[in-house]
Amino acid sequence: MTVSTHPRRARTHVTGAASAAVRPVLESPRRRARVLAAFPTGIYLEVRTDLEPSVIAIITGEATRLPNSVLLAADLPHVTVGDDASVGEGTIELGRLSLRARRWWDPAPPLAPVDPVRLAVSLDPVRPAPGLAGHQAIELLAESCARGWLLGVVTAAEQLVGLGPGLTPSGDDVLAGLLVTLRHLGKSAGVERAVWLADWLAATVTYDARTRTTPISATLLHCAARGESCPEVTGVLRALTGRGALEPAVSRLCRLGHTSGADLAQGVGIGLATIRALAAAPVPPALAGAR
């Protein structure tokens, strides 16, 4: 930080839009935060709070509207990793900016009801190949979900949390896609056991996510556990309920990140298969046993 002999300049007040998921953190008493990462289209802030999302993304219009993000109506400030910031009392203070939300969007919009027999069979084609394509834990997850075998699901999920390189490891993205699908599409298709599975899976992945994966990915897992995701995932789910074309929605999702979009799509695909299987087999013995 440079020391200036000039009087401290006034803060620049800017506004934007925010995911409604961020509102509780934003409206709590003010807490300290620090810059975790800074990219041309987004700055990640880690907030000292027990609430989730504890990592907030300050983004520009070009970035993905992650469920933990605040979209700025102005340019991002110049900050470096480790810089101090604060969040609370309705305001984010970052660099010279003082940011308030003028609009809230729903990161978990409800889906229209759908008859499970009318659901698409799969999301093909998912390109590029998901980061963990063919991995044994993915196979276990898919198979256990389809059978409603909770122990298998939990075992696979524990292997997958934090698995893979990068800011959001592939394993986390797959789990996030799966969680959101089971919760929303399960509810919309009237497959209660899918929602029940989502509850268990959510408890498993959020239990120690903060210690097992990156802070950003942990926050996104917490969001996914509550059914919150980005519009690209919602778009695919919506298309699965017959609102909009599926293929373009899948390709929009797959364009996110390096393999993040494809990993999310893989998770959505596993969720879709699970809902179809659970809807087709009214009383799977494995699930009954787990109950």
Partner 1 sequence: MSTDEVVLRKGVYRDSVTLMRISKTLSDLDGVEVAVVAMATPLNLDLARDLGFELPAADPADLLVAVRGERAEAAHAELDALLSANAPLAAASDSEQPPLTTRSAARRTEAGVVLVSVPGEHAYAEAVDAVEAGLSVMVFSDGVPVEQEIALKDLAAEKGVLVMGPDCGTAVISGVGLGFANVLRPGPVGIVAASGTGAQQLSCLLDLAGVGVSHVLGVGGRDLSPEVGGRSANRAIAMLDEDPATELIVLVSKQPPVRPAVPAKRFVEASADLTATAEHVLKELGRPVPEWPAWPAWAGRTVTGALRGIYSGGTLCAEAGGVAGTGTFVDYGDDAYTRGRPHPMIDPTLRLEALAAVAEGDVVLMDVVLGHGADPDPAASYAHAIARCPATVVVALIGSAGDPQDLHRQAAAFREAGAAVFTSNAQAARHARSLL
Partner 2 sequence: MSLLSGPPRVITVGAELLGEALDAQAVPRTAVAWRPPLPGTAGALTRVLLDPRRAAANERAVRRLTAARPHLAGVRRAAEALDLPPRTFLHAGPPITWDRASGPMRGALIGATLLEGWAADEREANDLLADGRIALEPCHHHRAVGPMAGVVSPSMWMFEVRDEEHGGAAYCSLNEGLGKVLRYGAYGPEVLDRLRWMDAVLGPALAAALRVSGPIDLGALIAQALQMGDELHNRNRAATSLLLRELAPALVEAAPGTAAEVLRFAGGNDHFFLNAAMAAAKAGTDAARDIPGSSLVVAMARNGTDFGVQVSGLGSQWFTGPAGVPDGLYLGAYGPADANPDIGDSTITETAGLGGFAMAAAPAIVRFVGGEVGDAVAATRSMYEITLAEHPAYQIPGLGFRGTPVGIDVTLVARTGVLPVVNTGIAGRVAGTGQVGAGLVSPPAEAFTKALAALTKRAAIQ
Q: Of 12, 41, 73, 208, which lies in the binding site for partner 2, with binding defined by CB under 8 A? A: 73
Report residue 280 as tokens.
């087709």
* Span of 79-87, 99-107, 165-173, 203-211 interacting with partner 2 by CB under 8 A: 99-107
Distance CA(275)–CA(117), nearest Å, equals 10
Q: How far apart are the first and last CA of the chain?
A: 57
Q: Among residue numbers 92 through 111, which ones bind partner 1 (CB under 8 A)?
A: 100-106, 109-111
φ, ψ of residue 111 to 5 degrees: the values are -105, 155
Q: Which is nearer to partner 1, 106 or 124 (CB)?
A: 106
Residue with tokens 């069979």: 121
Altogether, the residues listed in the chain come to a count of: 291
How many CB atoms sit inside 10 A of residue 152's CB?
Answer: 19
Partner whose binding site includes residue 112, from partner 2, partner 1, none (CB under 5 to 8 Å by kind): partner 1
- Identify the three-state secondary structure at position 134: coil
Q: Which is nearer to partner 1, 106 or 208 (CB)?
A: 106
- Identify the three-state secondary structure at position 225: helix
Q: Among residue numbers 222 through 261, which ones bind partner 2 (CB under 8 A)?
A: 231, 234, 238, 243-244
Contact criterion met (CB below 8 Å) for 25 and 54: yes
Q: Which is nearer to partner 1, 13 or 32 (CB)?
A: 13
* Residue 4 neighbours by CB under 8 Å, 6+ apart: none
Q: Does 87 bind partner 1 (CB under 8 A)?
A: no
CB of 287 to partner 2, least distance (A): 34
Segment holding 35, helix H or strand E: strand 31-39
Query: Among 93, 84, 173, 177, which residue's Cα sits nearest to residue 132?
Result: 173
* Span of 10-18, 138-146, 203-211, 213-221 interacting with partner 2 by CB under 8 A: 10-18
Q: Among residue numbers 10 through 29, which ones bind partner 1 (CB under 8 A)?
A: 15, 17, 20, 23
Partner whose binding site includes residue 200, from partner 2, partner 1, none (CB under 5 to 8 Å by kind): none
* Span of 37-45, 71-79, 160-168, 179-187 interacting with partner 2 by CB under 8 A: 71-79
Site string for partner 2, 172-211 (x = CB under 8 A): ----------------------------------------
Beta-bridge partners for 39: 42
Report residue 254 as tokens.
């797959």
Query: Among 194, 195, 163, which residue's Cα sits nearest to residue 263?
Result: 163
Which residues of this protein are in contact with partner 2, per CB under 8 A?
15-17, 61, 71-73, 102-103, 105, 109, 231, 234, 238, 243-244
Which residues of this protein are in contact with partner 1, per CB under 8 A?
15, 17, 20, 23, 100-106, 109-112, 188, 241
